[in-house]
Amino acid sequence: EENGHQNKRFKRDADADNAEDQTKKLPKRKIVLLMAYSGKGYHGMQRNVGSSQFKTIEDDLVSALVQSGCIPENHGEDMKKMSFQRCARTDKGVSAAGQIVSLKVWLIDDILEKINNHLPSHIRILGLKRVTGGFNSKNKCDARTYSYMLPTFAFAHKDHDVQEEVYRLDRETLEKVNKLLACYKGTHNFHNFTSQKGPKDPSAKRYIMEMYCGEPFVRENVEFAVIKVKGQSFMMHQIRKMIGLVIAIVKGYADESILQRSWGDEKVDVPKAPGLGLVLERVHFEKYNKRFGNDGLHEPLEWTEEMEKIAVFKEQYIYPTIINTEREEKSMVNWLNTLSIHDFSSSVVEMQANNKNSK
């Protein structure tokens, strides 16, 4: 009987070893994964190795990749080993409906199902495609599209509109919002829309392809609208500041001329809208698709078949999180109350001088 138990144990160990050997015989392939996630409770997308107190989306993803058996454990500790690259580094609390990561994996059977089995329900892998060996999702990306969902009372004029959830956006205000958002199109120096970049830093120049606010809609008695912005690439907090400044103008705190001033050399006080409503909608690979999309070996990085899954995920996880968090934590209401503190008429240098004098 004892021998029987021992034999079973040896057999079990041998099976485990065989499974590992089988995996090791599988060729490693460069792939991209299409990801959707609700970012609430996470400190952004990018993993901070060695810092476990701030949980990121990539912490959960890498753990699922190891547990599902498509990367070896040591690759989880050093992500360079699997040539891992994310397309966009979403900030704390920001969600994504179409994030792309590229990496090398063992192409095991039912790979998507196995990875998703080890992920929480608010993070899903919705698609997978093979790509060229040298593919890097960050460098090969031509443009990124973000959306920003906000309650429309954010656009209520401070002096003559109701400031509460009963507010409804009228046609004239929506047209004004869209006129201002369209000013961002083209190439501008966005040094005032991020931290740690000076006016002479060439990397502060960014190209915006489109920016507009869609038709408002009502959810749970609150009216919301979604702003879409497509640009080559964005700096930290850039979109939130772009939207924050437009809100300040529409509400009557700042003059329209501040937009032109903000692209000049002087330091302008630009308010940063809350992160809650920001969603990475999709990433674009137009140049890559032209070159490799129809070469007979690789597919174009278009996700037409996955669009329905993306829409369902947004309805299930992203929109309810934004709406419920807004109602419970009132992040937009609290932020709007801080707009009066900003000094939009003078530059930051003048403000600092005034503060010194008053002290």
164 vs 157: CA distance, rounded Å: 11
Asked whether residue 352 carries a pLDDT value surpassing 70, the answer given is no
Does a structural domain hold residue 358? no
**Tens-digit pLDDT profile for residues 65-75:** 999 999 998 88
pLDDT band at 16 (very low <50, low <70, confident <90, very high): very low
Pair 99, 73 in one domain: yes
Q: State how far the alpha carbon of 172 is from the alpha carbons of 175, 250, 333, in Å.
A: 5, 11, 23
Q: What pLDDT was estimated at residue 74?
A: 86
Q: What pLDDT was estimated at residue 75?
A: 86
Q: What pLDDT was estimated at residue 21?
A: 54
**Tens-digit pLDDT profile for residues 220-276:** 899 999 999 999 999 999 999 999 999 999 999 999 999 999 999 999 999 999 999
- Say what the pTM is: 0.86
Pair 95, 166 in one domain: no
339 vs 258: CA distance, rounded Å: 15
214 vs 6: CA distance, rounded Å: 68
Structural domains in the chain (count): 2
Pair 41, 80 in one domain: yes
Does a structural domain hold residue 325? yes
Pair 317, 173 in one domain: yes
Which of 140, 159, 194 is at the close of a domain? 140
Pair 53, 69 in one domain: yes
47 vs 62: CA distance, rounded Å: 9
Q: Active-site residues: which are they?
A: 91
Q: What pLDDT was estimated at residue 77?
A: 82
pLDDT band at 355 (very low <50, low <70, confident <90, very high): low
Pair 219, 335 in one domain: yes
The CATH number covering residue 321 comes to 3.30.70.660
Mean pLDDT, to the nearest integer, of 213-221?
95
69 vs 111: CA distance, rounded Å: 9
Determine which of 120-129, 134-143, 209-218, 223-232 has the lowest per-residue pLDDT on average.
134-143
Overall size of the chain counted in residues: 359
**Tens-digit pLDDT profile for residues 89-117:** 888 889 999 999 999 999 999 999 999 99
Does a structural domain hold residue 64? yes
* pLDDT: which is higher, 41 or 155: 155
Does a structural domain hold residue 333? yes
Residue span of the structural domain in which 122 resides: 28-140
Q: What pLDDT was estimated at residue 15?
A: 47
81 vs 84: CA distance, rounded Å: 8
**Tens-digit pLDDT profile for residues 280-292:** 999 999 999 999 9
Neighbours of 158 (CB within 10 A): 14
Pair 225, 268 in one domain: yes
pLDDT band at 1 (very low <50, low <70, confident <90, very high): very low
Pair 109, 188 in one domain: no
Pair 181, 316 in one domain: yes
Q: Is 253 part of any known ligand binding site?
A: no
* Cα dihedral 274, 40, 304, 290 in deg (nearest 10): 70
Pair 182, 327 in one domain: yes
Asked whether residue 133 carries a pLDDT value surpassing 50, the answer given is yes
Find out whether 114 and 108 touch, Cβ atoms under 8 Å. yes
Q: State how far the alpha carbon of 242 is from the alpha carbons of 1, 181, 279, in Å.
A: 74, 8, 15
Pair 132, 202 in one domain: no
Does a structural domain hold residue 187? yes
**Tens-digit pLDDT profile for residues 157-186:** 999 899 889 999 999 999 999 999 999 999
Pair 133, 174 in one domain: no
Q: What is the DSSP string of 151-213?
A: EGGGGS-TTTS--STT----HHHHHHHHHHHHTT-EEEE-GGGSSS--TT-GGGEEEEEEEEE
Mean pLDDT, to the nearest integer, of 145-166?
95
3-state SS, residue 131: coil
Q: What pLDDT was estimated at residue 8?
A: 53
Strands (E) in the chain, as ranges, are 28-37, 85-86, 95-106, 123-130, 143-151, 186-189, 205-213, 217-219, 222-231, 278-284
State the chain's mean pLDDT as an integer: 89
Does a structural domain hold residue 54? yes
Q: What is the 3-state secondary structure (H, E, C) of 294-321?
A: CCCCCCCCCCHHHHHHHHHHHHHHHHHH
Beta bridge partners of 144: 231, 283
